[in-house]
């Protein structure tokens, strides 16, 4: 049944609200996506991961679902969706939908029912009595990922419900077998409509420790040791795999905070029958302390983390991504100040990631080198940013200027500014004023302009993806990091049945010297990909130019 097509696939992530507006109301939608299918195909990607498009009151832009079997009005109808998936399939592009089942919206019919203590849906969620006199203190000390306690008091029943995200995102009770069956049914509903897989949102949070014990006090999330990869996590995912994933030629990728190279085998090895792949976030944290406070980018550590994933057995398929809708843009996060070499820097990042043994993900706009936005305070739209600002205003207004500085580096909003299609009005994203500010640099950074230049970052991505396709050495070859201690260079060798690939990338906006390992010889080598027109056919100069990135077939 399983073809494991994802091993040779590159996946493009669409955040629908910000991708393309098809009906001129300022909000991206499905008709907008349909209008860009040829563009997506032209990139050479194999699949799309679509962030949630289900019915939702949009407290967290669709990650709060009120009906799993229908489409959000702002995004269109189920018929539009069917046209979209047909359009993808006819172009040989698969569709990965987002599966958000750690929690629902508080407006989901189950939760509305669940507020009633006698309802059969009460046990679909996690209700507890409070502590202290009159139970007016939350049942434990867990905190929400979106600031504040993870519990909300419900006057009607005098009890609290758990929400690891916003209070409009109550956590489902996976201990309840009915909930688990509902989830399998939802997956099968979409599989039967043709979807090719799921990206499983915060899937490692579904099993909470028995008795919901207090967590140790640590900033910023208290209690996470009691719900990340909890006691029944593997059992529940295995069951879901049996009831759903394994019945289709599907692929799954878990948003799997807590899965590390040390425990990945149990989570994704082909023999275990759970998820096919996971996203891990350690490499996305190397320039933040406590996940939020900006700190210096530790390049050596970054390489070390990625390398550990590469060394997993071949039956465990890693993923690689530099951007998604929850993180700031990778330029200049990982490249430092690129000055006027933005596209060269983007090519360096692309080259570093695309030839690993992994399923790479490209986030919308990454392919044209979109950057962070100099937001004003009122520009922030993300619930996480808005909550953080209002909490700080309340608790310690003196810290507001600092908080603003942090957000300029860390806010999820950066990834959510409208896709920059043209230099025209609203960056060609919409004919109306977009729901979110457009990055003013759209006049220089946009798809239309990138299409015109053969040496653009966009066209570099296309070349890289075309080169990658079907190459056994990239899909399955061994991975060896070269000069792991170098503070400037990301280099690796891939090897499979006598075929070798050598990838060398200068991450810095300066010339750097390097020393090649002795055993690397360049007889009969072919220059496969490069970002300077005159990149050397043979590496012997021992000097790489600013952000120079080269791939050799040895
Ligand atoms: O993200 C989970 C998650 O842990 C993030 O919210 C994280 O805390 C934040 O991005 C800081 O890195 C997933 C989705 O990707 C995110 O968009 C949702 O808001 C969240 O789950 C709740 O569904
Ligand atoms: Ca619209």
Q: For residue 127, what pLDDT is reported?
A: 98
Task: Report, as an integer, the average pLDDT of 453-467.
Answer: 98
Task: Report, as an integer, the average pLDDT of 226-250.
Answer: 98
Among 374, 367, 551, residue whose Cα is nearest residue 474: 551
Using left for φ > 0, alpha for ψ between -120 and 50, and beta otherwise, residue 158 falls in left
pTM over 0.85: yes
Q: Is 152 a catalytic residue?
A: no
Six-digit token string for 145: 């990922």
Task: Report, as an integer, the average pLDDT of 105-116.
Answer: 98
Distances (CA, A) of 314 to 268, 271, 317, 358: 11, 12, 7, 10
Q: 351: Cβ below 6 Å to ligand 1?
A: no
Q: 200: Cβ below 6 Å to ligand 1?
A: no
Give the residues across from 513 on adjacent strands: 543
Q: At what angle do helices 233-243 and 177-192 cross, to 10 degrees?
A: 40
Q: 412: Cβ below 6 Å to ligand 1?
A: yes
What is the Å distance from ligand 2's center to 23 Cα?
Answer: 5
> What pLDDT digit, counting tens, does each position of 355-385 carry?
999 999 999 999 999 999 999 999 999 999 9
The bound ligand whose nearest atom lies closest to the alpha carbon of 80 is 2
Among 170, 191, 216, 174, residue whose Cα is nearest residue 60: 170
Which residue is catalytic, options 255, 323, 343, 548? 255
Task: Report, as an integer, the average pLDDT of 314-334.
Answer: 97
Task: Report, as an integer, the average pLDDT of 101-120.
Answer: 98
Which atom of ligand 1 is closest in space to residue 103's alpha carbon? 23
Chain length of the chain: 554
Residue nearest to atom 3 of ligand 1 (CA): 202
What is the Å distance from ligand 2's center to 73 Cα?
Answer: 9
Task: Report, as an integer, the average pLDDT of 408-427.
Answer: 98
| d(C-alpha 554, C-alpha 522), whole Å | 6
Neighbour-count burial of 246, counting CB atoms closer than 10 A to its CB (0-12 exposed, 13-18 middle, 19+ buried)? middle
Give the residues across from 553 on adjacent strands: 501, 526
Give the residues across from 71 on adjacent strands: 54
Q: 60: Cβ below 6 Å to ligand 1?
A: yes
| d(C-alpha 316, C-alpha 318), whole Å | 6
Task: Report, as an integer, the average pLDDT of 391-415.
Answer: 96
Task: Report, as an integer, the average pLDDT of 204-208.
Answer: 98
* DSSP characters over 482-541: ESTT-SSEEEEEEEETTEEEEEEEE-SSS-EE----TT---TT-EEEEESSTT--SS--S
Q: 145: Cβ below 6 Å to ligand 1?
A: yes
Q: Is 255 a catalytic residue?
A: yes
Residues in CB range of 293: below 8 A, 6 or more apart: 406, 410
Q: How confident is the model at residue 42 (pLDDT cuts 50, 70, 90)?
A: very high
Task: Report, as an integer, the average pLDDT of 159-175.
Answer: 98
> What pLDDT digit, counting tens, does each position of 475-514 carry?
999 999 999 999 999 999 999 998 999 999 999 999 999 8
Which atom of ligand 1 is closest in space to residue 291's alpha carbon? 12
Residue nearest to atom 2 of ligand 1 (CA): 202
């Amino acid at each position: 049944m399983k073809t494991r097509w994802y091993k040779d696939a590159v996946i493009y992530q669409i955040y629908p609200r910000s991708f393309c507006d098809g009906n001129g109301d300022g909000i991206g939608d499905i008709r907008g996506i349909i209008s860009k299918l040829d563009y997506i195909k032209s990139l050479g990607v194999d699949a799309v991961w679509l962030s949630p498009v289900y019915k939702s009151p949009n407290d967290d832009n669709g990650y709060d679902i009120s009906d799993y079997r229908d489409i959000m009005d702002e995004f269109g109808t189920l018929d539009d969706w069917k046209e979209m998936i047909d359009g993808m399939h006819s172009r040989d592009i698969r569709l990965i939908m987002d599966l958000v089942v750690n929690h629902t919206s508080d407006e989901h019919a189950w939760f509305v029912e669940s507020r009633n203590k006698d309802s059969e849906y009460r046990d679909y969620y996690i209700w507890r009595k409070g502590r202290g006199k009159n139970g007016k203190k939350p049942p434990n000390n867990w905190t929400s990922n979106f600031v504040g306690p993870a519990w909300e008091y419900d006057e009607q029943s005098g009890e609290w419900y758990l929400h690891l995200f916003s209070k409009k995102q109550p956590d489902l009770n996976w201990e309840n077998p009915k909930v688990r069956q509902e989830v399998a049914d939802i997956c099968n509903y979409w599989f039967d409509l043709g979807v090719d897989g799921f990206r499983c949102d915060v899937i490692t949070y579904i099993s909470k420790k028995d008795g919901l014990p207090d967590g140790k006090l640590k900033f910023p999330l208290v209690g996470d040791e009691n719900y990340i990869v909890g006691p029944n996590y593997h059992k529940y995912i295995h069951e879901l795999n049996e009831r759903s994933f394994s019945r289709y030629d599907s692929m799954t990728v878990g948003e799997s905070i807590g899965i590390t190279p040390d425990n990945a085998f149990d989570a994704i090895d082909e023999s275990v029958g759970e998820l096919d792949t996971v996203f891990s976030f350690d490499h996305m944290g190397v320039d933040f302390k406590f996940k939020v406070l900006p700190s210096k980018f530790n390049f050596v550590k970054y390489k070390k983390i990625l390398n550990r994933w590469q060394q997993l057995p071949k039956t465990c398929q890693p993923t690689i991504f530099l951007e998604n809708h929850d993180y700031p843009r990778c330029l200049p996060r990982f490249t430092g100040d690129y000055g006027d070499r933005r596209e060269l820097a983007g090519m360096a990042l692309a080259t570093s990631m695309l030839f690993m043994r992994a399923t790479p993900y490209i986030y919308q706009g990454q392919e044209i080198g979109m950057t962070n936005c100099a937001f004003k305070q009122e520009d922030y739209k993300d619930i996480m940013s808005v909550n953080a600002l209002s909490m700080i205003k309340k608790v310690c207004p003196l810290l507001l200027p600092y908080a603003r500085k942090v957000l300029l580096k860390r806010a999820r909003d950066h990834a959510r500014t409208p896709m920059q299609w043209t230099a025209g009005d609203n960056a060609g994203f919409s004919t109306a004023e977009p729901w979110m500010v457009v990055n003013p640099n759209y006049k220089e950074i946009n798809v239309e302009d990138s299409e015109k230049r053969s040496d653009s970052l966009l066209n570099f991505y296309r070349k890289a993806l075309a080169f990658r396709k079907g190459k056994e050495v990239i899909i399955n070859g061994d991975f060896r990091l070269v000069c792991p201690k170098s503070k400037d260079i990301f280099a690796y060798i891939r090897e499979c049945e006598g075929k070798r690939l050598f990838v060398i990338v200068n991450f810095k906006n300066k010339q750097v010297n390097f020393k090649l390992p002795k055993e690397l010889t360049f007889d009969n080598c072919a220059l496969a990909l490069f970002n300077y027109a005159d990149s050397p056919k043979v590496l012997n100069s021992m000097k790489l130019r600013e952000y120079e990135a080269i791939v050799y077939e040895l």
